[in-house]
Amino acid sequence: MNTQKSEALFARAQQAIPGGVNSPVRAFRGVGGVPRFIARGHGARLVDVDGNEYIDYVGSWGPLILGHCPAPVMDAVRAVLESGTSFGAPTEREIELAEEIRSFMPSMELVRLVNSGTEATMSALRVARGFTGRDLAIKFEGCYHGHVDSLLVKAGSGMATLGIADTQGVPQSFAETTIALPYNSIAAVEQAFASHGDRIAAVIVEPVVGNMGCVPPVPGFHEALRALTQKHGALLIFDEVMTGFRVSPGGAQQLYGIHPDLTTIGKIGGGGLPLAAYGGRADILSKVAPVGPIYQAGTLSGNPLAVAAGLATLRYLKSHPEIYAQLEARAAALTAHPPAGVTVNRVGSMFTFFFTTQPVTDWETAKIADTARFKAFFHWMLEHGVYLAPSQFEAGFISAAHTADDIQHTVQAAHAFFDQPA
């Protein structure tokens, strides 16, 4: 496979951009080699600058549930483009998007639009602290909620991939506001509440983890979080940046029947443009400025192009509910027969092939995966035209643009890897 142009661009990028990338997970550090510089995408395909084409299971790390360049989204963005790119003043479509989000997730009684998942979780946590008057937050090891200072404790995604246990640059006093517990351990949460119950503002959780690879909740986990937070006067924050509109139209909260106090969304909600949101109970969101004393703001919040893309995506999903059955079928076909030595985790169209024989239920069980073997697998798949996330500790995503043939090609390529003589 010719990668000359990517190689040249990567060398040049490193002279101008830290590590040559604008987000660490893009740098292929977990797998080695040269990241592919992308020229364009169409449907389920990515094309790099050397003209190599790949079936894309990254989907911009989750947003592209309709694939690359879906006509309804492209048309919607084109239609608003000529009216102006930013006003810093309210527009009617922002209301429409907030209403649309609420129709998918009724727990989001009031919704504030922001620009990124990080902003959404940062703001939700501030609101939880402001509302409860408490400082501590429980998060789970291997979950990643963006690069919010106090949430970068035992975080997944790029932190897990790069082996950065606790980032520098976060004051100790910020990190001390976070209690990091093993995912899926109800006992650990009970114990934390028993010790610090009256100081805990919130529990923030990826209701299906995507950021240590895909790790589903065990039965009863979310119910326990709901009950314990309610009992102790803390708020339950579902970080649905990845799962929102993905694992079901109404996200994980619909799938598991949980009513969180606050929710963060992003990715699909922005239709591939920079948009995210936080929202939840009206009595809590009513404490946010300008109605209340908790401050949060943004020049580009509710950006017209991003709002148009998000709205078009959500409306398309709403008018084509059959997409979810198709995603389920394609994902089931992709993950049906994992090779020996591989554990597959999947919820809807989120999946991870873990290179371990043990069930993966938390960071302790995820991190024992054979990352050297994953690395060989990743490059094999790339050579065979399949673009997976360049880390063992990330989820893969299927879009409505993936065909049965795409899945078959991917399965065949994967099995060919495992069929090689040792």
CB of 135 to ligand HOZ, least distance (A): 26
CB of 1 to ligand HOZ, least distance (A): 24
135 is catalytic: no
144 is catalytic: yes
List the structure tokens of 137: 């937050």
- The three-state DSSP-derived secondary structure of 293-341 is CECCCCCCCCCHHHHHHHHHHHHHHHHCCHHHHHHHHHHHHHHCCCCCC
In the set 154, 267, 367, 375, the catalytic residue is 267
Q: How far apart are CA 304 and CA 402, in angstroms?
A: 29
CB of 208 to ligand HOZ, least distance (A): 13
In the set 57, 144, 316, 387, the catalytic residue is 144
Q: How far apart are CA 308 and CA 223, in angstroms?
A: 35
Interface map 54-73 toward ligand HOZ (x if CB under 6 A): -------x------------
CB of 404 to ligand HOZ, least distance (A): 27
Interface map 83-102 toward ligand HOZ (x if CB under 6 A): --------------------
Q: Containing H/E element for 111? A: strand 110-114
CB 198 within 8 A of CB 134: yes
Residue number, nearest CB to ligand HOZ: 23
Among 2, 4, 14, 23, binds ligand HOZ (CB under 6 A): 23
Interacting residues with ligand HOZ between 361 and 420 (CB under 6 A)? 394
Q: Which is nearer to ligand HOZ, 60 or 326 (CB)?
A: 60
Q: How far apart are CA 418 and CA 263, in angstroms?
A: 40
**Which distant-in-sequence residues (6+ apart) come within 8 Å of 196 by Cβ?**
136, 179
Q: How far apart are CA 46 and CA 17, in angstroms?
A: 23
Q: Taking the CA atoms of the chain, what radius of gyration do you get in angstroms?
A: 21
List the structure tokens of 112: 């504030």
* Contact between 191 and ligand HOZ per CB under 6 A: no
CB of 48 to ligand HOZ, least distance (A): 18
Q: Which is nearer to ligand HOZ, 25 or 366 (CB)?
A: 25
316 is catalytic: no
Q: How far apart are CA 386 and CA 53, in angstroms?
A: 8
Interface map 158-187 toward ligand HOZ (x if CB under 6 A): x-----------------------------
Name the CA dihedral angle for 250, 253, 258, 261, rounded to a multiple of 10 degrees.
-100
Q: Which is nearer to ligand HOZ, 98 or 204 (CB)?
A: 204
In the set 48, 56, 239, 261, the catalytic residue is 239
Among 9, 25, 200, 334, binds ligand HOZ (CB under 6 A): 25
Q: How far apart are CA 272 and CA 397, in angstroms?
A: 14
CB of 156 to ligand HOZ, least distance (A): 7
CB of 115 to ligand HOZ, least distance (A): 14
- For tokens 């949460």, the residue is 189
Q: How far apart are CA 98 and CA 95, in angstroms?
A: 5
Interface map 209-238 toward ligand HOZ (x if CB under 6 A): --x---------------------------
**Which distant-in-sequence residues (6+ apart) come within 8 Å of 402 by Cβ?**
44, 55, 67, 330
Q: Which is nearer to ligand HOZ, 150 or 157 (CB)?
A: 157
Q: Which residues are catalytic?
A: 144, 239, 267
Binding site for ligand HOZ (CB under 6 A): 23, 25, 61, 144, 157-158, 211, 394
